[in-house]
Structure formats: structure tokens, C-alpha cells
């Protein structure tokens, strides 16, 4: 039998769908997330997912790997074919091969049972931050023709950077992706992890340990010098900030 539980804060901006055949697990998730201002709907299996997602705006799905009937693998594959909703998969300790398969099928993260509800909440928040940041950059690439800053212009469609004097600056794929990430969130501190995720939205060349190298290369191409780069400021121990004001051309 399918069940549905909604937190008291029905107007909250975040709505999570938890799919697990263990009633006590569903209740724990609903109670803890509800206490933290997250609306929760629960199901005991795959039936009803399409109906809920058609009726409600679901921001994230918590999906048990082992379900009767249609299992978590099949559901994850179907969800990923139909939407970009973030998925956290719940697995047992001995299911390493299944965890890998789940991630390959499109799950964004996983938790091993038993787990702390506090850790679940932290992972949900981190995944939603990443998802929303990616949507911002994706929206930029889909709807914005160009970004302008300090006399420079980056044509998104042509992937071309032009300086104030009209010179073209050659950018690698990873440098272009990194610059778009900065331009989509100007004057905001972006951590290395955020820059990694935003850059990987378009290309897999940028790796965590190479972010600093890529930022250094981008600074040089943008005209920064020495210890005081013109456009990208380092926030020690936190990340980087793109300092100029940015104008978008749609």
C-alpha cells in the first residue's frame, strides 16, 4: 500500500519524495526532514511516483535500492530518462556493485543503511545547492547570448572571448566552462567543489586538484597580473570570487 506524509510546513520551498518499503524508515525520514522545514511525500514502492511528480514539484528523490516489484535500479533509470531530479540512493553495506551501478544509471549520491538522519539532511542540502547552481549555468547557456564585463565580451554560442580592444582570447573547453561558471555567479564566493561541479556540467576535463591551475590560466588570459589578479580574487580557505559587475545579453 502506498503512503503519503507531508511535513507541517506545507509552504516550504523544498519538496522531497522518499521511496522505501520500510515503514519505519519512511516515517523517520518524513519526521526528521519535516522538523527541518522540508516537505516530504513518501511511497512504499515505484507505483505512484509518476503521479506525484506530475502533480507536485519534486526537488529531490530518496530511493531505496531494494524494493519489491520494480527495484531501485529500474526506477532510477526511468527517472533519469524523464527528468534531471537529483536522486539519493539508499543501499545496504554489502551492495557496493549495486551502488556503482546506481551511480552509473544516474543517481547523484548514495547513503549506506543504517545512516544518520543528520547526514541525510546534509547531503540533501549539498545536492540541492549543486543542482540549483548547475541550473543557473545551464540557464545561462540556453538563454544568454553573451556576458559583458569590464569591456570584455564572452559570446556563449560562439564560445568566443573578446577583449576591450577587440582582440580574441583563445579559451580551452575547461577555461570556457570555468569562466561561464564565474559569470553566472559574479561577486559571490564559489568553492572549489562548486567550480568543479559547474565546470563538469559541460565538460569532464576539470578535476578537483586542477581547479587552482585552471583559475591561474584563466587569470592570465583575462589580464590579471602577479599577486593581484584583476578579475578573480582568492578567498583563502574558501574559494574564489569573480569581482567585476557582469551584464547579460539575451
Letter string b/e over residues 71-110, b meaning 16 or more CB atoms within 10 A of that residue's CB: bbbebbbbbeeeeebbbbbbbeeebeebbebbeebbbbbb
pLDDT digits (tens, 9 = 90+) for 124-150: 998 888 777 666 665 555 667 889 999
**pLDDT for residue 207:** 45
Q: Is the pLDDT of residue 10 over 60?
A: no
pLDDT tens digit string along 67-94? 887 778 888 888 887 777 889 988 876 6
Q: pLDDT over 90 for what percent of the chain?
A: 27
Mean pLDDT across the stretch 162-170?
90
Sheet holding 60-64, edge to edge: 39-43, 15-19, 60-64, 87-91, 109-112
Domains of the chain: 15-133 (3.40.50.2300), 144-249 (1.10.10.10)
| pTM above threshold 0.85 | no
Cα–Cα distance for residue pair 198/213, rounded to 1 Å = 16
Indicate whether 159 pLDDT > 60: yes
Confidence of residue 35 (pLDDT cuts 50, 70, 90): very high
**DSSP type of residue 38:** -
Amino acid at each position: 500500500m502506498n503512503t503519503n506524509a507531508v511535513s507541517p510546513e506545507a509552504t516550504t520551498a523544498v519538496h522531497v519524495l522518499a521511496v522505501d518499503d520500510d515503514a519505519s524508515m519512511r516515517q523517520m525520514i518524513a519526521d526528521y526532514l519535516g522538523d527541518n522545514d522540508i516537505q516530504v511525500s513518501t511511497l512504499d514502492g515505484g507505483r505512484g511516483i509518476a503521479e506525484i511528480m506530475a502533480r507536485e514539484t519534486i526537488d529531490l528523490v530518496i530511493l531505496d535500492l531494494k524494493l519489491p516489484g520494480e527495484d531501485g535500479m529500474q526506477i532510477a533509470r526511468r527517472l533519469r530518462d524523464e527528468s534531471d531530479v537529483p536522486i539519493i540512493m539508499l543501499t545496504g553495506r554489502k551492495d557496493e556493485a549495486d551502488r556503482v551501478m546506481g551511480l552509473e544509471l544516474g543517481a547523484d549520491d548514495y547513503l549506506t543503511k543504517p545512516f544518520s538522519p543528520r547526514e541525510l539532511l546534509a547531503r540533501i542540502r549539498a545536492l540541492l545547492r549543486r543542482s540549483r547552481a548547475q541550473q543557473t549555468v545551464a540557464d545561462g547557456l540556453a538563454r544568454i547570448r553573451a556576458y559583458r564585463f569590464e569591456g570584455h565580451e564572452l559570446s556563449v554560442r560562439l564560445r568566443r572571448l573578446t577583449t576591450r580592444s577587440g582582440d580574441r582570447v583563445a579559451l580551452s573547453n575547461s577555461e570556457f566552462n570555468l569562466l561561464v561558471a564565474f559569470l553566472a555567479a559574479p561577486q559571490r564566493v564559489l568553492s572549489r567543489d562548486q567550480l568543479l561541479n559547474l565546470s563538469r556540467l559541460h565538460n569532464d576535463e576539470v578535476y578537483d586538484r586542477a581547479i587552482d591551475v585552471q583559475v591561474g590560466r584563466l587569470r592570465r588570459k583575462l589580464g590579471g597580473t602577479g599577486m593581484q589578479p584583476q578579475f578573480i580574487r582568492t578567498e583563502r580557505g574558501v574559494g574564489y570570487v569573480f569581482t567585476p559587475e557582469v551584464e547579460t545579453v539575451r
